[in-house]
Amino acid sequence: MKLVIGLGNIGSRYVGNRHNVGFMIVDQLATQLDATWKEESKLKAFLATAELDGEKIILAKPTTMMNLSGEAVQRIMQYYRLGHEDILVIFDDLDTEFGKARQRSSGSSGGHNGVQSIIDHIGGEFKRLRIGISMNDRSAEPSESYVLRNFNADEAKQLPALIDSFCTDIRMSLSTPPLQ
């Protein structure tokens, strides 16, 4: 069983925000895997379950705000008795160019409060996929307000194809058996 968590903020005012790119990706994964979202209030998340190459995949969108994501991740892990090796967290990254992705198997939060919340609740040993949301047009704007802005028109045009590509890569990584 694998758990794929997209980080974002719940609510219509955040839907197109840069900070919600994790939600955008797990939403597309749910569509591709023909999975339906269901709110699980005890787990503080929306969950969608699917099967990929005979393995159960749980997709999650925490219903806490971004900075409290660790509460939901911890509850889901405990409920399904998952290990750190079974988790992939997808989130936005200010320090990565728009459209680029970086995967790591552990490390620091890099200043991302949602990831720090997860580290505070379960430790830092989990796979993470950082999705670049660009720094190109930030100028002197504080990071906290930049991440809550929507993608610009050019980025918004590119986003669907990028999300599809990320989803393909994620599905491949989930269905590839680990090296022995």
> Residue 148 in contact with residue 15, Cβ under 8 Å?
no
Q: Say how far apart CA 9 and CA 60 lie, in whole Å.
A: 12
On whether the CB atoms of residues 149 and 17 are closer than 8 A, the answer is: yes
**What order of strands is seen across the sheet that includes strand 45-52?**
38-40, 45-52, 55-62, 2-6, 87-93, 127-132, 101-104
Give CA–CA dist 35/6, Å, rounded: 15
Catalytic option among 19, 84, 112, 121: 19
121 is catalytic: no
Catalytic positions: 19
